[in-house]
Every structure is written in structure tokens, then in C-alpha cells.
Chain A
């Protein structure tokens, strides 16, 4: 009872993503990454969608360049979260560097979900650091387990990948521009898979985001955490 709700919620979100990180650890090691590489990915990249996508592209036979491009296109949104959070996080340079590293979907979302602006920074740190701790613990656990599991297909782990991506997309699908982007991206992939090398359809799908942007029209339809605050 002693822990305020906005702090506790952040830690709970961290624990939930930690469970997902176990899946990442298993997937990465069963697709040929070492335990060390898998753990360093979670420590340094620390962006779930990018990590899963990079491993997925490699697993499908894509090149390293395609994997890096896909992961970075997915990570670009964190830059926009950073702009929103830069108004909230004040103080020393090291503090802001750490804040930048833990600026992700969960920490930005939890901060901006607070109706009381005074609680936003606390919520940001609780979710950001909570996810960081559990994400890396979960990854290590999964990586060690994955070494033992062996063939991922026997356990259906290859299907857990795309299903997990659907779960990650759910918030975006609730808005018309996000739904359009997903539909266009999926259609582009379906058409280009037989025509290109593995991984390339994912890069081409970024055109789907541009299509959605043009079709969906005015930007105020696109609700972001920042818009909710102003």
C-alpha cells in the first residue's frame, strides 16, 4: 500500500514486458544468436519491436543490412517520444542520457496517461526503469532456456513471433491512420514476397506509412500522447 499507484503501475508494466522478453530470448537463441549477443541486444537496443524484427529478418534469410534498416525504421518513433519527454525530464546530462535510453512506448505511455502532471516524471521513471530491469532479466532467462529448447518449430515458436507483432500493433490499429498503414504495409508485403529477397518486403512496407499519411489527411486525426496533454 505504501507505493503510489502511478509508480506501482509502471513496475507492473515492466514485469509484463519481462514475460515477453523471455520469448525474445528463446526466439533469438533458437535462431542462431549466442546468449551474449541476445543479452547485449536487449541492453543496447532496448526496443522490443526492433529486436524481434531484426531477429525475424535474419531467421527468414534476410541480409544484415536489411535487418538493421528494418530495426531502425521501427525505432524512429522513439525519437518523437524523446521530444515529448524532453519537456518533462530536467536536470543533469547523465540523468537525461539515461532518460533518453529508457524513452520507449511503455514509459512515454505511462507518463502521458497521468491526469496529474506532477506524477508524470515518476510514472516515466517507474515504467522506464521497471521495463529495463525486467526486459533484460527476461531476455537472459529466455536465452538460457532457448539454448536447451532446440528446434523452435516443434514448440510453435515461429508462430509466436507474428502473433506477438499483432499484439504490439493493437493500439495503432484502433486509429484510422494506423489501420490504413497496417493494411497497406501488409498488402505490399504479400505482393512483394515472391518478387524480392527475404526482408526487403518489410522495408518496402514503409511506403504503406506514406500512403496512410496521404489518405488519412489532416494530422490532428493522429492522436499522440502529446496531443492528449495539450
Chain B
């Protein structure tokens, strides 16, 4: 990733926070705008989960990843903290790859 992209995301992220903290965000804050801001993360994160679990590039692929991710997802559902969820997924996937 380029430095340009990193600085762009950094500046943009801070701009959102500062707009809220310094009152600029009030213009779009109420009602629908706020709700949309809260619903974007689950929509995008879910898309990331799907694309990183069952695809490589533009191809749909089923491999060891899905087993690890399901195991991690079940742990998350049981209330496991996120670091444990990530470790479970990695260990299960790596184990399956070592066996096959």
C-alpha cells in the first residue's frame, strides 16, 4: 500500500471525528444520516467476511479458510473476545492445511 493511501485514510478518518467533535457534523447528524453511519460497518464488514472467506481475487473458492472462520464465528457468538476468535480461526485453518 502506498504512503499516499495511508495518509489519505488517516486524514479522512480524523476529519470525520473532528467534524463531530467541533459541531460541523450536526448538519447531517440527525435521523437518517446518523442511522446510515451506524449501519455501514455491519454491511461492509459482512462483505469483507464473505470475500475473504470464500473468494480469491474474483473467483469464488471453498478451502480451509471457511472451516476456520466458522469455528471463529461460533466462538464469537459464545462471547469470546476478538483476539481469541482470530486465534481459533487461524489455528483451525493452519491445522487443516497441515493435514491436507
- Residues of A participating in the B interface, judged by any CB pair closer than 8 Å: 16, 19-20, 23, 32-33, 37, 40-41, 44-47, 49-50, 52-56, 58, 60-61, 64, 67-68, 70-86, 89, 96-97, 99-101, 103, 153-170, 172-173, 177-179, 181-186, 188-190, 193-198, 201-202, 204-210, 212-213, 219, 222, 224
CB contact list, B1-55 vs A, under 8 A: 1-14, 16-23, 25-26, 29, 31-32, 34-55
Please determine whether B46 and A205 come into contact, CB atoms closer than 8 angstroms: yes
Measured between alpha carbons, how far is A193 from B58 in the docked complex, in Å? 5
Please determine whether A70 and B1 come into contact, CB atoms closer than 8 angstroms: no
* 12 A–B contacts, CB within 8 A, in A order: A49-B41, A61-B57, A75-B16, A80-B20, A85-B21, A103-B17, A156-B97, A162-B89, A168-B82, A184-B43, A197-B58, A209-B43
Please determine whether B82 and A164 come into contact, CB atoms closer than 8 angstroms: yes
Please determine whether B85 and A219 come into contact, CB atoms closer than 8 angstroms: no
User: If A100-B20, A185-B43 touch, does A159 touch B48 (CB 8 Å cutoff)?
Assistant: no
Please determine whether A78 and B81 come into contact, CB atoms closer than 8 angstroms: no
In this complex, the member of B4, B16, B18, B55 whose beta carbon has the largest number of chain A beta carbons within 10 angstroms is B16
Please determine whether A201 and B47 come into contact, CB atoms closer than 8 angstroms: yes
Please determine whether B46 and A186 come into contact, CB atoms closer than 8 angstroms: yes
Task: Output the least CB separation between A103 and chain B (Å).
Answer: 5
Residue of A nearest to B73 (CB): A166
User: If A74-B40, A158-B52, A162-B53 touch, does A169 touch B89 (CB 8 Å cutoff)?
Assistant: no
Please determine whether A64 and B4 come into contact, CB atoms closer than 8 angstroms: yes
Residues of B within 8 A of A20 (CB): 82-83, 86
Measured between alpha carbons, how far is A182 from B72 in the docked complex, in Å? 17
Other contacts beyond A74-B44, A173-B42: 9, CB < 8 A = A19-B83, A44-B10, A52-B48, A71-B12, A73-B40, A74-B40, A75-B12, A163-B76, A167-B76
